[in-house]
Amino acid sequence: LVGAAGVAGALPGTVEPVLRVQPSGPSAPGVVGVVYCRAAVTPSEKEGEMLDSVQAADGAAQPGDYLLIVVQGVAQVKVAKGETLTPGQRLKASDVAGEARGLRTVEVDGVMLDEGGAVIGVLLDAPDAASGLAPVMVTLR
């Protein structure tokens, strides 16, 4: 999970600024998506004009790398250790940078209420025991 950390200049040939992100957590509470993979910017030719294009790239992302980020759809999300989750449960950012946890509820006067804060999405299956990754339908709200 990543949170907003500002914007950077647009890629050559484009006008939209590039989103800068950092792992979600207390210093980046506004989750903007889930890292899909590292990205590489490579030159390509279109209609005789050289433009930069962004493609998925192998390897672990490093600070300063471009990333492809899922903002809606299925993504693998790192789940905080010790969480007992069930498919269908809604998730939100945990206090551990880059990880998710189950949305908590509390009963008040016989009414179940959800805690505040942004929901990342819905857990689709149990987390993998070895990696801690779980498929989530990302629907940021």
C-alpha distance from residue 83 to each of 54, 90, 101, 104 (Å): 35, 13, 6, 11
**What residue type is assigned to position 63 of the chain?**
P
Confidence of residue 127 (pLDDT cuts 50, 70, 90): very high
- Greatest alpha-carbon pair distance for the chain in Å reads 68
- 30-68 pLDDT per residue, tens: 899 999 999 988 887 778 877 777 889 999 888 888 999
Neighbours of 12 (CB within 10 A): 10
Output the pTM of the full model.
Answer: 0.84
**pLDDT of 99 strictly over 80:** yes
Higher pLDDT, 88 or 60: 88
